[in-house]
A and B are shown apart, each in its own frame.
Chain A
């Protein structure tokens, strides 16, 4: 079952912050975040394992609340290069950690 992402799309000005949410109806083993630029393949950003950890990557960070089966991606002081579609991918408990199911994506556009 696909995780649900919100919002579907967001437009930012350079320097603004954004939050993208991902929720699942199933208990999760891990949450992944990927970014895809137009016409290209998705690229890995980060993975969060069960345990409620928060990770950061430059000015992009994420949290994972396993009790609520939710994850959020935080983009701080957005740059033009952040534009693209962000996908969360989830692995349910008991799947062995190798079957990632993706949400429908959040389109992010950063303008100057």
Chain B
């Protein structure tokens, strides 16, 4: 039972490049989330989904897009990466309000 799996674990991008982060969960959870973590700012919610085919904006959605085509997968896309998007990204799924986090993706935008 893998829980929540994020790929890739590390990535370096140049400004303006695009990429997609993949999150997969095998717990059959309805709710999934993308957070970013920056020093001194805690975890900030980017986007979330309350079920297959649904997405909603969180606290800091600008510059990101998401898709939830399958219940087990939640994709986070950066169309044109900026240095301000350098961060650690965590995906999570939840059940009864409890969040289960993936191991994170360290993204650097140069």
Contact = CB atoms under 8 A, between A and B. Distances in A.
Interface stretch (A39-47, A56-64, A74-82): A39-47
B11 to A, nearest CB: 17
A77 to B, nearest CB: 26
A42 B90 CA distance: 9
User: What does DSSP make chain B's interface, helix, strand, loop or mixed?
Assistant: strand
Interface in B33-57: 33, 35, 40-45, 48, 50
Interface residues on B, range: 20 to 34
Nearest to A5: B42
A3 to B, nearest CB: 9
Contacts of B94: 98, 100
B97 A30 contact: yes
A41 B90 contact: yes
B104 A41 contact: yes
Nearest to B42: A104
A4 to B, nearest CB: 11
Given A41-B104, A98-B48, A32 B42 contact: no
A27 interface: no
Interface of A: 2, 30, 32, 34, 40-44, 47, 87, 89, 91, 96-105
